[in-house]
Amino acid sequence: MSSIKTLFEEAICYEEHVLAHYIFCLIQEGKIAWDDEDSVLFEVQPDIEKLTNMIENNFLGICKIHMYALKVKKGKWVFIFAKSPEEAKVHLWRTTGSKPLNCQELSLDQEVLIGNRFLNFREWKKEQSGFPCLVGYC
């Protein structure tokens, strides 16, 4: 079993915004503590209106960015970090003048060779200065 603090940190790390807000809301209400075991979440409920408001207003400021692979022609793909497939497509158009043939979301945990090192997309995302951004071609 892990602690509430560990689960919260993992929720932030993996951008699980609903879980992070859920835990934070319960902490604010005093229904759980950081050192409680995570199983306590099955026993308590937050104020739904307060939780909904926190999530809708993104109280914790979690920005969910995805990795998209956009096929631009046979055998050629472009990789873009963006909030949505639509944002990725628009960014491709603005930066290259190309329209994608298709757009697929990739797992942030997928590892790729970047220069002389292996990184997953989650780690590579942390190295970017702004979003959306085109990070490579294949």
pLDDT of residue 109: 87
Nearest to 133 by CA among 76, 72, 90: 90
The pLDDT tens digits of the residues spanning 50-106 come to 999 999 998 998 878 999 999 999 999 999 999 999 999 999 999 999 999 999 999
pLDDT of residue 81: 96
Query: How many whole angstroms separate alpha carbon 74 and alpha carbon 122?
Result: 27
pLDDT at 132 over 80: yes
The pLDDT tens digits of the residues spanning 3-30 come to 999 999 999 888 889 999 999 999 999 9
Pairing of strands 76-82, 66-73: antiparallel
Residue 67 makes CB contacts below 8 A (sequence gap 6+) with 79, 80, 81, 105, 106, 107, 108, 110, 121, 125
pTM of the model: 0.71
Query: How many whole angstroms separate alpha carbon 2 and alpha carbon 10?
Result: 11
